Structure formats: structure tokens, C-alpha cells
């Protein structure tokens, strides 16, 4: 029975779905959510690191020089020979990448080097620093590294940081007075990120979240925390904010390269 003076309750149920992600049913004060299949409860939320993960703007390097992709005149001229595929002897940690060796003709009684190298990783998330270790045979006298991203080095055991996503072919040319040979293998880098459109407005505010990561290998799973108690496991999603506030948004991606978080602070403002 209706009693005079009683406050009427109005429930507004909003449902927006995209790629398996749903907005929960909500009441104005306080918010009440009804669970959907791809949403996680607060008890299931994984810990979130504080640090924002994203590639830096610049590409700082130490002891490396940007040069044109040609060997310096002091190195012996490379005479192409038969190309041989060597499986499983390239970068450590990735047996799927094939490596190639290209050996020059012998120009003296000395022994031509057999170029080869290892690395501490073959894939990962940007910024990815890789330590390369020369393991060439027959005592090379000089080394020329092409990291595949316009950076070069003449150190024997250089390290290099990849700041952009992509598949990079690393080439080492080892030389001495007898000649030279070349060895190559791949580095896979994925640069995570996401965009928010729009990032501000009046409540209720509908926001599109888009995964903007690039490179290789591609992730296979996504987990979003929208900062208002709602979560989602779709790659791209639409979410509605019904209460005013400033929200942090976090995206966790997982795949062959491992798991990483991308955290953005105060990325959505609802008035």
C-alpha cells in the first residue's frame, strides 16, 4: 500500500554491450550492479601496479652511432656465398625463429670468422632492452651490428633498447683479415597502449576504450578496470559512467610475451 510522504525509488537500468563487455545495472545513490559473464567481482581483481607502462618518447642509446646501413671501409668486403638456414641457434629463448649465416670467400691463409650471437631475450614489451653476446668463431677482429630499427653498433657485445613495436631482424657481421661472415635472427616487440574517446563530459557519459597496441607477438587476453568498480575482458569496449568523478583506467594484456599492465591516471573526467 502506498503511504503519503514515502519517497518513490526510480531505478534506471542501463545496458550497453560491445564485444562481450556489458555495463552493469545501476541505481543513482548508491550504485548497484548486476553481474554479467565477463565481469569480475572486486574479490577477483588482480593487484595493479602503480607505475604507468608505456614506451618513452625518445630513443636514448649509449655508445651507439646512427649511420647509413653500409659497412665501414675498414671492414673486409663481403662476398656473398650460399645462404644456409640454421634453426635453433639464433636468439636464446625462442626456438621458432630461424637464423641465417652468410660467409664470404677466404682472402688469406687465415680462417674466416663464423658469425653468430645469442641474446638474453627474443621477445617482450616495449621498451625492451636486449643484451647481445657475440659467440663468433675463428677470432673476429671487428663487429658490425644492425639492430633492424636504424640503429647500429661496432661493439662486440652491445645492448639495445627497442621503443616501438615490431618484428626486427638483427644482423651481425664479424670480420678479420681473412674475410667476413654474417649471422641474423629476429626480435619481436609489442608496444601496449589504449585510447579513450571522449575523455570528459557530463554524466551519464558513454566512453569508447580502444586497444591501440602494436607489434609482435599479439596479445591473446585483455582485462579492463574502468575505475568505477566495473571491469571487462573484451579487447575493445564501451562503458558508461553514471556518477561524476575523475577515474583512473587500467588495462592488463597477456600473450606469448607475458603479462603487462598499462595504467593511466585521471584519464576520464565526468561532471
CATH superfamily of 84-191: Immunoglobulins (2.60.40.10)
* pLDDT by 10s per residue, the chain, length 271: 444 444 444 333 333 344 445 444 333 333 333 333 343 433 344 444 433 343 333 333 333 333 333 333 333 333 333 333 223 333 333 333 444 455 444 444 579 999 999 999 999 999 999 999 999 999 999 999 999 999 999 999 999 999 999 999 999 999 999 999 999 999 999 999 999 999 999 999 999 999 999 999 999 999 999 999 999 999 999 999 999 999 999 999 999 999 999 999 999 999 9
- Three cell numbers, residue 11: 531505478
> Which candidate, 226, 250, 254, 270, places its Cα nearest to that of 21?
226
- Three cell numbers, residue 236: 575493445
DSSP state of 258: E
First to last CA, the chain: 38
User: How is domain 17-54+192-270 classified at the CATH fold level?
Assistant: Immunoglobulin-like (2.60.40)
Question: Looking at residue 224, what is its pLDDT?
Answer: 98
Domain regions of the chain by residue span: 17-54+192-270, 84-191
CA distance 147 to 135: 17
Over residues 36-55, the pLDDT tens digits come to 334 343 334 444 443 334 33
Do domains 17-54+192-270 and 84-191 share one topology? The answer is yes
pTM to 2 decimals?
0.65
Question: Looking at residue 110, what is its pLDDT?
Answer: 77
SS3 for 109-165 is CCCCCECCEEECCCEEECCEEEEEEECCECCCCEEEEECCCCCEECCCCCEEEECCC
Could you tell me the sign of the dihedral formed by the alpha carbons of 134, 138, 139, 143, in that order? negative
Amino acid at each position: 500500500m502506498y503511504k503519503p510522504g514515502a519517497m518513490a525509488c526510480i531505478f534506471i537500468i542501463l545496458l550497453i554491450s560491445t564485444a562481450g563487455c556489458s555495463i552493469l545495472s545501476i541505481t543513482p545513490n548508491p550504485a548497484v550492479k548486476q553481474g554479467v559473464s565477463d565481469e569480475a567481482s572486486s574479490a577477483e581483481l588482480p593487484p595493479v601496479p602503480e607505475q604507468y607502462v608505456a614506451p618513452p618518447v625518445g630513443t636514448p642509446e649509449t655508445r651507439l652511432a646512427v649511420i647509413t646501413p653500409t659497412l665501414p671501409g675498414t671492414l673486409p668486403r663481403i662476398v656473398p656465398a650460399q645462404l644456409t638456414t640454421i634453426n635453433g641457434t639464433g636468439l636464446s629463448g625462442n626456438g621458432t625463429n630461424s637464423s641465417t649465416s652468410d660467409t664470404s670467400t677466404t682472402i688469406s691463409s687465415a680462417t674466416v670468422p663464423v658469425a653468430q650471437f645469442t641474446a638474453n631475450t627474443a621477445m617482450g614489451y616495449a621498451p625492451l632492452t636486449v643484451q647481445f653476446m657475440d659467440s663468433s668463431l675463428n677470432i673476429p677482429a671487428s663487429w658490425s651490428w644492425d639492430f633492424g630499427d636504424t640503429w647500429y653498433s661496432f661493439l662486440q657485445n652491445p645492448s639495445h633498447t627497442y621503443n616501438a613495436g615490431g618484428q626486427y631482424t638483427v644482423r651481425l657481421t664479424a670480420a678479420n683479415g681473412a674475410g667476413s661472415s654474417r649471422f641474423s635472427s629476429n626480435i619481436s616487440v609489442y608496444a601496449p597502449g589504449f585510447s579513450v574517446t571522449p575523455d570528459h563530459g557530463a554524466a551519464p557519459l558513454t566512453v569508447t576504450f580502444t586497444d591501440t597496441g602494436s607489434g609482435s607477438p599479439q596479445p591473446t587476453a585483455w582485462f579492463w578496470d574502468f575505475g568505477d568498480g566495473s571491469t571487462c575482458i573484451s579487447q575493445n569496449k564501451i562503458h558508461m559512467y553514471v556518477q561524476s568523478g575523475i577515474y583512473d583506467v587500467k588495462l592488463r594484456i597477456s600473450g606469448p610475451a607475458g603479462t603487462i599492465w598499462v595504467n593511466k591516471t585521471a584519464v576520464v573526467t565526468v561532471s
